[in-house]
Amino acid sequence: MGTHDDVISNDATDDNTANDTATDDNAANSDARDEDRATTPHSTTAVDPVTIWDVATAANVSPTTVSRAFRQPSRVNVKTLGRVLETAKRLGYRSESIIPREEKHLRGLLALVVTDLENPVSAQFARSIQRACAARNFGLMVCDTEEDKASELAIIKRSIPHVDGIILSASRLSDATIRKVAQVRPLAVINRIVGGVQSVYADDGPSLADAVRELKRLGHQQVTYLPGPDSSWQNGLRTNAIITACKREGLKFRRTPCAYPVDERSADAFAAYLARPTTAAIAFNDDVAYAFMLFLEAHRLRVPWQVSLIGIDDTPKCEICTPKMSSIRVPRRALGEATASRIIDRLLHVSDGDLTPIRMQSEFVKRDSIAAAPASSMM
């Protein structure tokens, strides 16, 4: 197989082109060919393996949609995505599992790669994963990419010789690059779905639908989304979920430029909001929501009397800011523990190799930052 540098080569090209150069139809056909190669030689019964076409037929969608659900789920309607994933799980469909090369000796150490350790979400993931590792007599090395894709790849390359497995939290790398890393070490991704790689994520769709439904009940007619970076898989899923919920509830949807990380870019996004204000806003995460609240106060717009505001992640900041922030509570401890357990089970050969994505539900938590829409509309 070669060295890990050989396996993870030409990564910049992969990041920029892997998901753009192939059509969805080609991806669907590739998935089908992968299934044949992956399952036929190992079949021990007369039962044919479940194919992408079987899932498509049972879910009443096209094979292209099934392929997209596993490769680019942010491009699939939230309801359709849920139906496809549930159907795949029920039928026992597995996209081709990527098997890393076998190591003779375990080091007893995993690497967790996060995008921003100053974000409480990353810190809480690290703590839950560390506890799960300690319970199995494994250590954990935590690495911070500081939201830099190039740094993320460099950190992974430096970590490979020293660790048994790798966990990527909210990775900004392309699917193609992640699959290459998974050829070298057992790997799992949190809050993302990558075909052939153990994926663990929180489904924010239902909770965001609850949030939008509550805003409608309070009399709001328009909602602005303050998004995260385009490279964030979560951002795509959340955007899709909010758009779908707004359409269902009859609310107008608006979106600003990227608001995360909180820096000059967020200031531009907030200024764009002022150019076309709405009485309600949902932020990519609690950091953006809190910064936006301070921005509104500086411009003499009060939360929640003039603008209702909802964050995502339900970090401790939500309970101590004034007013207390409504948010989407993500089960970070459970996500982290499940991810660590899957990786360690695989390393110790106590799992059946099932790489079906693990989906957990988030929850809408209503607090003081939302209220009835003001009688005189801002629009």
223-247 pLDDT per residue, tens: 999 999 988 899 999 999 999 999 9
Q: Is residue 62 part of a domain?
A: yes
Residues 223, 184 within the same domain? no
Q: Is residue 174 part of a domain?
A: yes
Total-model pTM: 0.76
pLDDT band at 65 (very low <50, low <70, confident <90, very high): confident
Residues 226, 81 within the same domain? no
70-125 pLDDT per residue, tens: 766 767 777 888 888 888 888 877 665 555 656 668 999 999 999 999 889 999 99
Residues 158, 235 within the same domain? no
Tokens of residue 244, six digits: 């779908």
CATH number at residue 11: 1.10.260.40
d(CA 327, CA 289): 9
Q: Is residue 303 part of a domain?
A: yes
Residues 282, 297 within the same domain? yes
pLDDT value at position 86?
85
Residues 286, 323 within the same domain? yes
Contacting residues for 17 by C-beta, under 8 A, at least 6 apart: none
- Whether 36 has a pLDDT exceeding 50, the answer reads no
d(CA 172, CA 258): 15
178-226 pLDDT per residue, tens: 999 999 999 999 999 998 999 999 999 999 999 999 999 999 999 999 9
- The alpha carbon dihedral of 76, 82, 85, 90 has a sign of negative
pLDDT value at position 40?
37
d(CA 85, CA 200): 13
d(CA 333, CA 285): 17
Cα 4 to Cα 113, 140, 154, 180, 209, distances in angstroms = 17, 21, 12, 9, 43
Q: Is residue 360 part of a domain?
A: no
Cα 315 to Cα 81, 118, 335, distances in angstroms = 27, 12, 15
pLDDT value at position 257?
96
Q: Is residue 363 part of a domain?
A: no
Query: Highest mean pLDDT: which of 140-144, 194-198, 231-235, 261-265?
Result: 140-144
For the chain, the domain total comes to: 3
Q: Is residue 357 part of a domain?
A: no
What is the residue-averaged pLDDT of the chain?
Answer: 86
Residues 215, 193 within the same domain? no
pLDDT value at position 45?
42
Residue among 286, 334, 342 nearest 314 (CA): 286
Q: Is residue 374 part of a domain?
A: no
pLDDT value at position 279?
98
Residues 224, 303 within the same domain? yes
pLDDT value at position 15?
44
pLDDT > 90 in the chain, percent: 63
- Whether 32 has a pLDDT exceeding 50, the answer reads no
281-312 pLDDT per residue, tens: 999 999 999 999 999 999 999 999 999 999 99
pLDDT value at position 190?
97
What is the residue type of 131?
R
